[in-house]
Amino acid sequence: GKSSQNLDRIRLEIRIILLLVKDLAFSLVLERKQKQSWKATEFRLRSYI
């Protein structure tokens, strides 16, 4: 039905958000090690959206 479809979509969105957060955290760790510019991370985020 419609409600289960909504639930699937919410689950998918949560999964995507978790992946984004994980990727962002990973990028920040790398940035600290390599002194990468914030713009590289920002660019990666923009490419997702």
- Report domain extents, the chain: 2-48
Backbone φ and ψ for 36, nearest 5 degrees, come out as: -65, 155
pLDDT (0 to 100) of residue 35:
64
Tokens 């990028």 correspond to 27
pLDDT (0 to 100) of residue 15:
97
Look up the pTM and report it.
0.52
Tokens 């991370």 correspond to 41
The whole-angstrom separation of Cα 19 and Cα 2 is 26
Q: Which residue has the higher pLDDT, 25 or 42?
A: 25
Mean per-residue pLDDT, 28-39:
73
pLDDT over 90 at 17, yes or no: yes
